Chains A and B, each alone.
Chain A
Amino acid sequence: MNRLAIEPGSTVAYHTGDWRNQRPAYRDKWPPCGQTCPAEEDVQAWLALASDRQWEAAWRTLTERNPLPAVMGRVCYHPCERACNRAHLDTAVNIHGVERHLGDLALQQGWRHRPLTDQQQTQQVAVVGAGPAGLSCAFQLARRGFPVTIFDAQSTPGGTLSSGIPEYRLPKSVMQGEINAILALGIQLKLNTRIGADISADTLREEFVAVFLAVGALQPRTYPDDGYGDHSVMSGVDFLRRINDGERLSLPGQIAVIGGGNTAIDAARCARRLGAEVTVVCSQDPHGSHGGHPGAEIPASLDEVNQAEAEGVRLRYRMGVQRLVRSGAHLSGVEIARVDQIHDRHGRFNPVLFEGTEEFLPASLVVFAIGQEVDWRGLEPLVQTETSGIFVGGDAAGKPRFAATAVGSGYQAAMSIIALLTGVPPHYEHHDKAEVTFRDIKPQYYPRQARREGALMAASPGEFSERVAGLGNEAAHEEAGRCLNCGICFQCDNCWHFCPDAAVIKQGQGYRIDDDYCKGCGICAEECPSGHIDMERVAG
Chain B
Amino acid sequence: MDTRDAFRHNVLTSGHRACSGCGEAMAARMVTDLIGPEAIYVNATGCLQVFSTHNQQSAWQAPWIHSVFANAAAVASGVEAALRARGEDTPVIVQAGDGGTFDIGLQCLSGMIERGHDVLFVCYDNEAYMNTGVQRSSSTPHAVRTTTSPPGRVSEGKHHLKKDLISIVAAHRMPYAATATVAYFPDLRAKVDKAMRIKGPRFLHVLSPCPLGWDHDAALSVTVARLAVETGLFPLIELEYGAVTGVTRLARQQPVEEYLKLQGRFKHLFADKGGAEEIRHLQALADANIRRYGLLDANTEWDTDRASQTQRHGRGGYAASSREVSP
Contact = CB atoms under 8 A, between A and B. Distances in A.
Contact of B220 (A20, A51, A526): A526
Interface of A: 5-16, 19-20, 48, 51-52, 444-448, 481, 485, 490-494, 496-503, 505-507, 514, 516-517, 519-523, 525-527, 529, 535
Given A490-B313, A491-B312, A494-B310, A10 B58 contact: yes
Interface in B1-28: 2, 4-8, 10, 12-23, 25-26
Contact of B218 (A5, A13, A448, A522): A522
User: What range describes how many residues of B lie at the interface?
Assistant: 35 or more
B132 interface: no
14 contacts: A10-B15, A10-B58, A11-B17, A11-B58, A481-B312, A493-B314, A493-B317, A498-B182, A499-B29, A501-B16, A514-B4, A517-B15, A522-B217, A526-B220
Interface centre among B15, B309, B316 (most CB of A within 10 A): B15
B58 A502 contact: no
A11 B13 contact: yes
A490 B309 CA distance: 13
A506 B2 CA distance: 14
Nearest to B217: A522
A490 B312 contact: yes
Nearest to A445: B310
A500 B57 contact: no
B5 A506 contact: yes
Instruction: List 6 tightest A-B contacts by C-beta distance, closest first.
Output: A522-B219, A11-B15, A521-B21, A492-B310, A517-B14, A500-B25
A446 B59 contact: no
Nearest to B59: A11
Contacts of A505: 4-5
A8 B182 contact: no
Given A10-B15, A448-B305, A520-B20, A499 B26 contact: yes
Contacts of A527: 222-223
A529 to B, nearest CB: 5
B185 interface: yes
Contacts of A51: 312
Contacts of B52: 11
B10 A526 contact: no
Nearest to A528: B310
Contacts of B309: 445-447
B228 interface: no
Interface in B296-326: 305-306, 308-317
Interface centre among B2, B10, B55, B305 (most CB of A within 10 A): B55
A94 B8 CA distance: 38
Contacts of A502: 4-5, 10, 12-14, 29
Interface string B191-219: 00000000000000000000100000111
A117 to B, nearest CB: 33
If over half of A's interface residues share one DSSP class (helix, strand or loop), that class is named, otherwise mixed; here it is loop
B184 to A, nearest CB: 10
B231 to A, nearest CB: 14
Given A8-B57, A444-B308, 10 more contacts: A448-B305, A502-B12, A502-B29, A506-B5, A507-B6, A517-B14, A519-B21, A521-B20, A521-B211, A527-B223
A16 B14 contact: yes
Interface string B50-94: 001011111101000000000000000000000000000000000
A493 B218 contact: no
Nearest to A506: B7
B139 to A, nearest CB: 20
Contacts of B45: none
A514 B26 CA distance: 16
Contacts of A7: 56
B186 to A, nearest CB: 10
A436 B186 CA distance: 27
B265 interface: no
Contacts of B22: 500, 521
A310 B218 CA distance: 55
Contacts of B12: 502
A325 B5 CA distance: 82
Contacts of B185: 497-498
B263 interface: no
Contacts of A521: 20-22, 211, 218-219, 221
Nearest to A519: B20
B136 interface: no
B169 interface: no
Contacts of A506: 5-8
A446 B13 CA distance: 30
Nearest to A490: B312
Given A500-B23, A506-B5, A446 B310 contact: yes
Contacts of A514: 4, 14
Contacts of B315: 492-493
A521 B17 CA distance: 13
A500 B18 contact: yes
B312 A11 contact: no
B26 A500 contact: yes
A20 B310 contact: no
B226 interface: yes
B30 interface: yes
B219 A523 contact: yes
Contacts of A20: 20
Contacts of A12: 2, 13-15, 59
A16 B15 contact: yes
A485 B313 CA distance: 12
A446 B306 CA distance: 9
B305 A447 contact: yes
A526 B305 CA distance: 18
Contact of A492 (B55, B59, B314): B314
Given A494-B310, A498-B182, A523 B305 contact: no
A503 B13 CA distance: 9
A523 B14 CA distance: 16
Contacts of B55: 5-6, 14
A523 B8 CA distance: 20
Interface centre among A444, A492, A502, A517 (most CB of B within 10 A): A502
Contacts of A498: 26, 182, 185, 222
Contact of B310 (A15, A448, A529): A529
A124 B185 CA distance: 60
A296 to B, nearest CB: 37
A437 to B, nearest CB: 19
A10 B2 contact: yes
